[in-house]
Amino acid sequence: MRCLPDPQLQKLLDDDTGGGDLTTHALGIGAQRGRLRFQSRQLMTVCCTEEAVRLFELAGARATLLAPSGTSVIAGAPLLDAVGDAASLHRGWKTAQILVEWASGIASAASAIVAAANGVAVACTRKNVPGTKALSTKAVRAGGATMHRLGLSETLLVFAEHRLFLHEEPAATVARLKRAEPEKKVVVEVANLDEARLWMAAGADVLQLEKFSPEQIAACRLASADFSGVLLAAAGGIHAGNAADYVAAGADLLVTSAPYTAPPRDVQVTFGSAA
């Protein structure tokens, strides 16, 4: 999987080490040779080990990737090895560890939802922590999910907040959007079954069913029988614990933000002397 570019990785490294490593310098151990290994402490879907390897290289060490992003590992699995002088290893250590732990948390949570969905597509929203879009997207994809949309320019998604400014029938809105952007599907977010029926009849391609219960999804699925081809995207509150219920109710797609708030996975870092 693609690695974050060097300037962005260097910025992460500089944020932690721009002022130098006071402890390593004061102890006078920076020139001594050492090695370290990253290992998983728990079951996880790994992410951003490529970035971790490159962080160590930018810090002045040599590193070897042992578990690429997207790999599912058990506790104790080796993720990467690094060798170099103590100054370089300490310079890259925490930035690399925290990045792998955080990204693997997102990837593992996405993977759990994908497994629960049992073949139904899972898409993650753009509600990632600001400034982390590239890495969050990599983590989502490492977990087997896809992105709902990366930004406002990517898809046609009509919210109630857009409809406040419209003064036309829903069918006219859908027809106008399809004329303006013929290659795009028209997605409309709805809040209840009546709105769902209205926009189905108007010709929407996808209905985003915001905070519908599985029972409401099932009712919407039944109503959709009269409107060929409309896709039902369940959104809001979807997680690994209820994903199967939404799939059983008839959702064609699960839209979720849950992975972004997942706890980090735990990575053990073991140092040793290379002398």
Residue 1 has pLDDT above 80, yes or no: no
191 to each of 28, 91, 160, 197, 217, how far by Cα in Å?
64, 50, 9, 11, 11
Percent of the chain's residues with pLDDT above 70: 100
pLDDT digits (tens, 9 = 90+) for 76-116: 999 999 999 999 999 999 999 999 999 999 999 999 999 99
Q: Any idea where the domains of the chain sit in the sequence? A: 6-113+263-273, 114-261
- The pLDDT of residue 226: 87
**Tens of pLDDT along 247-258?**
999 999 999 999
Would you say the CATH fold of 114-261 matches that of 6-113+263-273?
no
pLDDT band at 275 (very low <50, low <70, confident <90, very high): low
Query: Average pLDDT in the 43-55 region?
Result: 98
> 114-261 falls under which CATH superfamily?
Aldolase class I (3.20.20.70)
Q: What is the pTM of this model?
A: 0.95
Residues contacting 118, CB < 8 A, separation 6+: 244, 247
pLDDT digits 0-9 by tens, 156-206: 999 999 999 999 999 999 999 999 999 999 999 999 999 999 999 999 999
For the domain 6-113+263-273, what is the CATH code?
3.90.1170.20
What is the number of alpha carbons within 13 Å of residue 228 lying toward its C-beta? 0
Q: ∠ at Cα 175 (174, 179), nearest 5°?
A: 115
